[in-house]
Amino acid sequence: MDPTLEAVSKITVPLLGQRKLKGEKIACITAYDFPTARLADAAGMDLILVGDSLGEVVLGYESTLPVTVEEILHHLRAARRAVRRALLVGDLPFGSCQAPEALAASFRYLKEGGADAVKIEGGKKRSRVIQRLVDAEVPVMGHVGLTPQSVRAFGGHKVQGKTPDSAAEVLADAQAVEDAGAFAVVLEGIPCELAALVTRRLRIPTIGIGAGPACDGQILVMHDLAGLSPEPRPKFVRTYADVAGTLERALTRYGVDVRQGRFPEDRESYHWSAVMKEQFESEAAASSDKFLKAVTSDE
Ligand code: KIV
């Protein structure tokens, strides 16, 4: 745990808003299962997102588009069992971002998955659905810029907001998300100058991914940060560990040890007690059972 962290037992939606006012950065990460969510929570992450990126980094899909509400819910439940302090957010996958699907999925995330909030991709186009969710007491985090669910419409993973028109569009999207009542907005894949402008204009915290340092917080995909996703990784990723290398080396050593009979050793095996051994041997001696006799004579 980061020793500079304030002693807060539970991160809440209002607390994230206060962080922006105080100029304190918000650290966010994705996690999709019990062990990694537990580690992320213990490390003091403020927000843990069960993102639809799980489709690519955990389920092996080529994009986030095939991910279903059911899949997010499954992983959300696992993360919920681990997360105590961080705000836990469930992502609305492609095809669930319009009403009434968004409402139905969000209620399930909060009631069955234990989420504290939901995230939805899209700006102006989603403002009505965000309003309806907020009216229904569902805290919403928006997501604008290079939204991966729009890759087909964008013609690939292209940084948004590089021209005056596109920059104005991103700003308007972020503003629409705030006006609709979202408590925060993810800014993905936009120039850092634009992210700085959006961050200054909005009252709600901006959480950047590939949007430069001026955002109120940052989020990364756990598997990118841990070196578990395949290379090359996007330019904005900082890989803090080589978990894939560590795991592969461990698995290789284990395979060699098994094949060479070096695993398990005696200290890694269970044993009968001396009493049990003695009883077994005397029963074997007295028995006509050939199997028992054979076992004891082997020793
Ligand atoms: O799905 C996801 O993990 C996300 C984050 C990268 C913001 O949307």
The span from the CA of 77 to the CA of 187, in Å, is: 26
- Is residue 2 packed enough to be buried (19+ CB in 10 Å), middle (13-18) or exposed (0-12)? exposed
Length of the chain measured in residues: 299
Nearest alpha carbon, ligand 1 atom 4: 51
User: Is residue 219 within 6 Å of ligand 1 at its C-beta?
Assistant: yes
Q: Check residue 299 and give its pLDDT.
A: 52
Ligand 1 centroid vs 30 CA: distance in angstroms? Answer: 7
The span from the CA of 48 to the CA of 55, in Å, is: 16
Ligand 1 centroid vs 117 CA: distance in angstroms? Answer: 14
- The CATH superfamily holding the domain 13-237 is Phosphoenolpyruvate-binding domains (3.20.20.60)
Token pair in block for residue 92:
């609305």
Is residue 17 within 8 Å of residue 47, measured between CB atoms? no
Q: Check residue 53 and give its pLDDT.
A: 98
Between CA 137 and CA 141, with CA 138 as vertex, the angle to 5 degrees is: 135
Nearest alpha carbon, ligand 1 atom 2: 51
Token pair in block for residue 94:
């492609």
Q: What ranges do the domains of the chain cover? A: 13-237, 248-298
Backbone angles phi, psi at 14, to 5 degrees: -60, -35
Q: Check residue 137 and give its pLDDT.
A: 98
Q: At a CB cut-off of 8 Å and minimum separation 6, what does 20 contact?
A: 26, 203, 204, 205, 216
The span from the CA of 226 to the CA of 228, in Å, is: 5
Q: What is the pTM of this model?
A: 0.93
pLDDT tens-digit profile, the chain (299 residues): 776 676 789 999 999 999 999 999 999 999 999 999 999 999 999 999 999 999 999 999 999 999 999 999 999 999 999 999 999 999 999 999 999 999 999 999 999 999 999 999 999 999 999 999 999 999 999 999 999 999 999 998 999 999 999 999 999 999 999 999 999 999 999 999 999 999 999 999 999 999 999 999 999 999 999 999 999 999 999 999 999 999 999 999 999 999 999 999 999 999 999 999 999 988 888 887 766 666 666 55
* Identity at 25, one-letter amino acid code: K
Backbone angles phi, psi at 256, to 5 degrees: -60, -45
Return the active site residues: 188
Number of the ligand 1 atom closest to the C-alpha atom of 207: 7
Q: Check residue 287 and give its pLDDT.
A: 80
Q: Count H helices and E strands in the chain, helices first.
A: 13, 8
User: Is residue 209 within 6 Å of ligand 1 at its C-beta?
Assistant: yes
What is residue 162's three-state secondary structure? coil
Between CA 56 and CA 91, with CA 199 as vertex, the angle to 5 degrees is: 30
Between CA 118 and CA 55, with CA 198 as vertex, the angle to 5 degrees is: 35
Is residue 55 within 8 Å of residue 19, measured between CB atoms? no
Number of the ligand 1 atom closest to the C-alpha atom of 64: 1
